[in-house]
Structure 1
């Protein structure tokens, strides 16, 4: 029988071991809890920041052939690259839009891949093919009668549907009454505090320009009814100079000198385009623009310039200018072989627009006319985009449209009508069949990357572009 002393020693030993057991168990429990918390936080971080490694995904590596595995591995590498892209600001600081007119989805498919026999590795995508989001804009013009090109531009850049009839739009906008003037995406950008610019290889008084800073179907005074002029109505060229949107543009570049000035230089490389409007009221709007900015500089110090030749633009230190106007042809830039390239105009425009604390909005219009080498034009545009410095705080859009707006009927679209008569077309030459197919009005495509690019998805109306941009611009300072 153990003595009382022995019993006390046994009790002390058991109590000591029990304490150690509880300490060890507690330590293990805390370790498990900490581990679970860490795993949870890590998983949440990977989901929220999209950094999970998809290379760990089992895709039947042991069951596919060696040739198939090569392409599966390549696809997994591309997915990993997509998931590694960092998250930028919620809303963009800048908006950069390239509008490409004269090509459709069929052209992109045809010219995207060079013909390299037996070497699929030679396929090359356009830069916009790598953009994270894409949407289709319906060609409502093929269902409306009548359908004017100006209405399409208004739908894209002001958000007003093609089927909405606007009273008083048949003539023009009166400068003294701006209450009914439309707020285009450019004006909304200006009201949001962004620096703005419009660059085109067409005329700055064309349908796109009219939708951005005017409300008239007349590019200049020549074809405007006398009664409208006597009422004080203004053509697009004069609206550019006197309207609030036009006056606030930091950059405006393109052609259309014969609409802005009544007396223009006529050279063998830059003829007056007799098919276009030609001002005859003695105006010199380029001089008026300069005088306007000179008066402005007396109130607020600004630096501005008007350039009309490529060498003038090349030598310009654009970063030091607040306002820049460039007019390089009497008509479209394609009519002047000495006009600057789109790449040069975009490069100089961005130098004017970029400021450390201020965002910018730049719309670039590139028109590929019938007869031009579409592949070469798309490659030049792709090069222009490739030369731009990537900015994570910039929403970049590439809008591609074939710019074909035929006179339709209300009960059938051009596309439906063409397809229903394909059997008849097969009796024609292949070249004629291809011409008919290329002339079908196709949907426009919008490629998007950058903050809020996820807004652009699915099939939408033309007006969706303006409405989406209005939302982005209203919150651009929150990025």
Structure 2
């Protein structure tokens, strides 16, 4: 009887352990099956969406000539790099936009290669390796007369060129300020981002005027009509210093002292540019800017600095300041032989803008005037970009435009007309062909890298950059 009871208990234990073993084995089997299914789905997803494993990118090594193989090996390495899935945030925290005026695709083709050895390919410029690229149309080539003063406003406000509001000669008739179009710079400020504008030109140039939401055609008081002055109109320089956009700029570095002050120091290295506007109303907007910041500091603790020489800028620990105003030349920086380099201005700007818990928008303009050494200027830009620290949360754009607006025609762009007449064009002498091609209004080139850089693609209107940047800003604003 006792033996029977023990046998029964033994059988129950064995049965229980068998059940446990079965459960464990079943669980393992299900796990394996689920894993295999996931692998299958991921493989199918990669095939359908062209997401390649870089280890699989190859070519038929045994079917190309030995003279080709070395270049195919190099090309496959580049392809592997292009196919790597980017990691990091979906939307950027920061935006850096470099606007290069005076350079187009022809110049890049001419200056990209150094020396006679072309075998290394497009290795000179860092933006050649940016993963995304777009072209912006030159609408100005289809209008007559070309409203050159409105081109920058179209670019930075997203309003078509022919819809840009004209400046009013009588400021008493100006529309309500709330109806004034906001540039991407002002939108960034309203979204809570820190902002900066750096230019090798003067602040009051077309880019500065557009970004600062100014509504004047006059850079300073000297050339403004008396009637406009009496009606209360303000020139671009004063609006940049006293307007909400200008006052909110954390960084502004460039030239234009002679527009900001009626009494400026003159030297052989930094003369007054007689071709540009010279203020003569006794103003000192540099002092006004400092006084503004002193008043602000009594309400909210802020640190600010005004510098006017390259050595002052270089020795400044800019990360300690909330606002930096750098006035580096009486006119454009090209007129001052002691002006700071683009690299230095960008480095100091980023020291101010890089705060731990806040994003930023920095717009940098490099103006390459006719007669400048374009190869040297592009090398300076390349050096500046190369030395920037790569940041996963930062979207970087490089926009190159020729800044030339030749006489347009009404029914078609000159580019279209030239293409339609290629057979006749290439029967001309070589120098005439070169002149015709050079005078064609080229489209702007836009290179992009970083989170959401993929939205910059194809051939777009000039207004596209403002719309795209505005979208990114709306997703990049600090979370409250």
Shared topology, TM-score over 0.5?
A: yes
Whether the aligned pair in 2 keeps the contact of 1:114 and 1:122 (CA below 8 Å) is: no
Decide whether the 8 Å contact of 1:154 with 1:160 is kept in 2: yes
Q: How far did residue 121 of structure 1 move?
A: 3.0
Structure 1 match to 2:450? 450
Question: Are the aligned partners of 2:170 and 2:231 in contact in 1 as well (CA < 8 Å)?
Answer: no
Q: Are residues 55 and 67 of structure 1, via their aligned partners in 2, closer, same or farther at CA, if it must alter by over 3 Å?
A: farther
* Structure 2: gaps (5+ residues): 1-14
CA offsets, 1:401-437, max 9 Å, x none? 000012323124333455677757976673x653443
Rate the CA distance shift 1:417–1:285 in 2: closer, same or farther, 3 A.
same
Q: Does 2:166 align with 1:163?
A: no
- 1:306 is matched with 306
TM-score normalised according to structure 2 size: 0.88
The answer for unaligned runs of 5 or more in structure 1 is 1-15
Q: Which residue matches 2:400?
A: 400
**Does 1:150 find its partner at 2:155?**
no
CA–CA distance in structure 1, aligned partners of residues 327 and 80 of structure 2 = 46
Question: Is the CA contact (8 Å cut-off) linking 2:201 and 2:367 kept in structure 1?
Answer: yes
Q: How much has 1:233 moved relative to structure 2?
A: 1.0
Question: Cα RMSD (Å) of the superposition?
Answer: 3.0
Superposed displacement of residue 145, structure 1:
1.5
Report the Cα distance in structure 2 between the residues aligned to 1:169 and 1:350, rounded to whole angstroms. Answer: 37
CA distance in 1, matches of 2:25, 2:425: 86
User: By how many angstroms is 1:46 displaced?
Assistant: 6.2
CA contact (8 A) 2:172 2:231 kept: no
Report the alpha carbon displacement of residue 238 of structure 1 after superposing the two structures with TM: 0.4
310 and 63 in structure 1: CA distance in 2 versus 1, 3 angstrom threshold? same
Matches within 5 A, 1:238-317: 238-317=238-317
Report Cα offsets for 1:293-331 as digits up to 9, x if no partner: 011111111111111111110111100011011111111
Contact 2:192 2:478 in 1 (8 A): no
For 2:12, the equivalent position in structure 1 comes to none
Q: After TM superposition, list the pairs within 5 Å mapping 1:47-66 onto structure 2.
A: 52-57=52-57, 59-66=59-66
- Quickly say closer, same or farther: Cα 1:27–1:216, change in 2 above 3 A: closer
TM-score after normalising by structure 1: 0.88
Report the 3-state secondary structure (helix = DSSP H, G, I; strand = E; otherwise coil) of the residue aligned with 2:265: coil
How many residue pairs get aligned? The number is 460
Counterpart position of 2:322: 322
How big is each residue's C-alpha offset from its partner over 1:331-370, in whole Å with a ceiling of 9 and x where there is no partner? Answer: 1000011011111100000001110000010000001111
Match of 2:7 in 1: none
**Aligned in 2, Cα 1:48/1:305: closer, same or farther, shift over 3 Å?**
farther
Deviations 1:148-179 (A, max 9, x none): 22211011100111111525546769999522
Task: Tell me the CA shift for residue 267 of structure 1.
Answer: 1.0
Deviations 1:213-267 (A, max 9, x none): 1121110111111111111111110001111000000000111111100111111
Tell me the distance in 2 between the aligned counterparts of 1:456 and 1:151: 23
Q: 1:169 to 1:72 in 2, by over 3 A?
A: farther
Separation of aligned partners in 2, 1:265 and 1:174: 38
For 1:112 and 1:169, the matched residues in 2 are separated by 44
Specify whether residues 168 and 124 from structure 1 end up closer, same or farther in structure 2 by C-alpha distance, changes over 3 A only.
Answer: closer
For 2:171 and 2:325, the matched residues in 1 are separated by 24
Alpha-carbon distance change, 176 to 146 in structure 1, aligned in 2, over 3 angstroms: closer
2:365 paired with 1:365: yes
Greater alpha carbon shift after TM alignment, 190-199 vs 108-117? 108-117
8 Å CA contact 1:139–1:462 kept in 2: the answer is yes
Residue equivalent to 1:4: none
Distance 1:351 1:50 in 2: 40
Q: For residues 435-460 of structure 1, what are the alpha-carbon distances to aligned partners after superposition, in whole Å with 9 as ceiling and x for unaligned? A: 44323210001101111111111111
| Bigger shift: residues 250-259 or 48-57 | 48-57
User: Could you tell me how far apart the structure 1 residues matched to 2:284 and 2:27 are?
Assistant: 87
The 8 Å contact of residues 167 and 217 in structure 2, kept in 1 or not, is answered as no
Report the CA distance between 1:129 and its aligned residue. 0.9
Matches within 5 A, 1:75-90: 75-84=75-84, 86-90=86-90
Q: Is the 8 A contact 2:216 2:235 kept in 1?
A: yes
Contact 1:172 1:216 in 2 (8 A): no
Per the alignment, do residues 105 and 58 of structure 1 end up closer, same or farther by CA in structure 2, a change over 3 Å counting?
closer
What are the superposed Cα offsets for residues 28-71 of structure 1, whole Å, 9 maximum, x if unpaired? 96476245235236537967998743442453333222232332
| Structure 2 CA distance for aligned equivalents of residues 25 and 360 of structure 1 | 56
Rounded to whole Å, the distance in 1 between the matches of 2:386 and 2:173 is 42
Report the equivalent of 2:3. Answer: none
For 1:59 and 1:415, locate their aligned partners in 2 and report how far apart those are by CA, in whole Å.
Answer: 39
